[in-house]
Homo-oligomer: A and B are copies of this chain.
């Protein structure tokens, strides 16, 4: 097995035992990038010399954390002190900020190797799409907006990467590329230094190729243990299956994935319950849209005033309030979301360890312009709950698909435990390995 094929967790063990050097792992990932990125196009900027120099320094130091020496891809809407941050916007070509975003600083101070920046939908929002292709079928999108980060991890170019989610930008590309993604409870990972779109919704999350990988990242961010966490009994796991109020938007592949996952868990003796969400939850998709576009007015005002000509019409529309969102609509959307958050948490007191639900309506669409439907991710983002994407089942036409596990707010670590218990039952797709991986 070549180093680039290792999961972050496996590489971390080898580095800790001195059976693999940080430099070897970094070089292996850089070679993989050099082989594969001409077709996958996941990266906007890689500085091989800088990464190797950093890895060498780490080889001379005592390990700072289990992330010591692990290469990271950083979505190009997240600031890095030593690489450009372009947001895939013509306004910010070659732009360098002299400071790491909070999440990058945490990884760097924990011994992670910042390998490069990954392509993104413009400002993680709209406008220009990433050039990235889906490694499982180059004619398909990897999803967006964290297109490059997901494709890079899926195509074995780096073991870990950061993405962001405002609607479905983290979980959806994970489902489409057959990898794992974790979106923590809102507020637990600082978003400082990531381009702001919506202050209610923007969330930093991570990609890996196993639950153990995502645990490494959760560890350095010191996600707290929920008060109620008594640990579930893995032999008596209780999962609530939720079709959501948006089930009619699911395609066959999405429905099949949820059915496959449910069946696999049932066979393994997991207690399955059907969970229906109250009517108010059916209004969350619209509330999400209102808040995202409403808050986006403030987000893009600086570029609107200073760089109108180079600002894509999509962002001008945000500032000009093309969707005609009123303050009353905003306040109502905030209040609805808050009521649903409290109600959703209460669901877990009724004997459910996690919710199992769709991640995407189906597999990755063909082409690069449409990066997929956010319907099965957006309202969970608005609920501020932790969400975990796990590859599930065969997918369709060689393209993978994932499902989502959802926990209550602050149930992050328990959700990763549930993921660990169920992932071996679900992650059995032959489509897990990319085209020439």
A residues sitting closer than 8 Å to B (CB atoms) are 95-100, 102, 105-106, 108-110, 186-192, 195-196, 199-200, 221-222, 224-228, 294-295, 297-299, 301-302, 305-306, 319, 321, 326-328, 330-331, 334-335, 338-339, 341-342, 345, 409-410
In the complex, chain B residues whose CB is within 8 Å of the CB of A221: 298, 301
Measured in the bound complex, the distance between the Cα atoms of B297 and A189 in whole Å is: 9
In the complex, chain B residues whose CB is within 8 Å of the CB of A299: 102, 190, 192
Which of A106, A189, A298, A331 lies at the interface centre, i.e. has the most chain B CB atoms within 10 A of its CB? A298
Tell me whether A192 and B190 are in contact in the complex, defined as CB-CB below 8 angstroms, given that A222-B297, A227-B328 are known contacts: no
When C-beta atoms are compared, the residue in chain B nearest to A296 turns out to be B190
- Add 16 more A-B contacts to A186-B199, A190-B299 (CB < 8 A): A97-B99, A102-B196, A187-B199, A187-B295, A187-B330, A190-B196, A190-B298, A191-B199, A192-B195, A221-B298, A221-B301, A222-B297, A327-B409, A330-B409, A338-B338, A338-B339
Measured in the bound complex, the distance between the Cα atoms of B187 and A85 in whole Å is: 24
In the complex, chain B residues whose CB is within 8 Å of the CB of A100: 302
Tell me whether A345 and B327 are in contact in the complex, defined as CB-CB below 8 angstroms, given that A196-B102, A298-B188, A302-B100 are known contacts: no
Can you sample 14 A-B contacts with CB below 8 Å? A95-B98, A97-B97, A108-B306, A109-B305, A187-B200, A187-B298, A188-B298, A190-B199, A190-B299, A191-B196, A222-B297, A227-B327, A331-B409, A338-B342
In the complex, chain B residues whose CB is within 8 Å of the CB of A228: 328
When C-beta atoms are compared, the residue in chain B nearest to A103 turns out to be B302
Measured in the bound complex, the distance between the Cα atoms of B301 and A96 in whole Å is: 23
Measured in the bound complex, the distance between the Cα atoms of B188 and A260 in whole Å is: 44
When C-beta atoms are compared, the residue in chain B nearest to A195 turns out to be B192
Measured in the bound complex, the distance between the Cα atoms of B91 and A100 in whole Å is: 14
Which of A319, A321, A326 lies at the interface centre, i.e. has the most chain B CB atoms within 10 A of its CB? A326
A335 and B328 form a contact (CB under 8 A): no
B409 and A102 form a contact (CB under 8 A): no
In the complex, chain B residues whose CB is within 8 Å of the CB of A342: 331, 335, 338
Measured in the bound complex, the distance between the Cα atoms of B295 and A225 in whole Å is: 15
List the 9 shortest-distance A-B pairs measured between CB atoms, nearest first.
A338-B338, A327-B410, A105-B302, A109-B305, A227-B328, A109-B306, A192-B196, A190-B298, A335-B342
A102 and B301 form a contact (CB under 8 A): yes
B110 and A305 form a contact (CB under 8 A): yes
Picked from B95, B110, B302, the residue with its CB within 8 Å of the CB of A106 is B302
When C-beta atoms are compared, the residue in chain B nearest to A306 turns out to be B109
B338 and A301 form a contact (CB under 8 A): no
Which of A186, A319, A327, A410 lies at the interface centre, i.e. has the most chain B CB atoms within 10 A of its CB? A327
When C-beta atoms are compared, the residue in chain B nearest to A302 turns out to be B105
Measured in the bound complex, the distance between the Cα atoms of B301 and A97 in whole Å is: 20
| Minimum distance in angstroms from A284 CB to a CB of chain B | 14
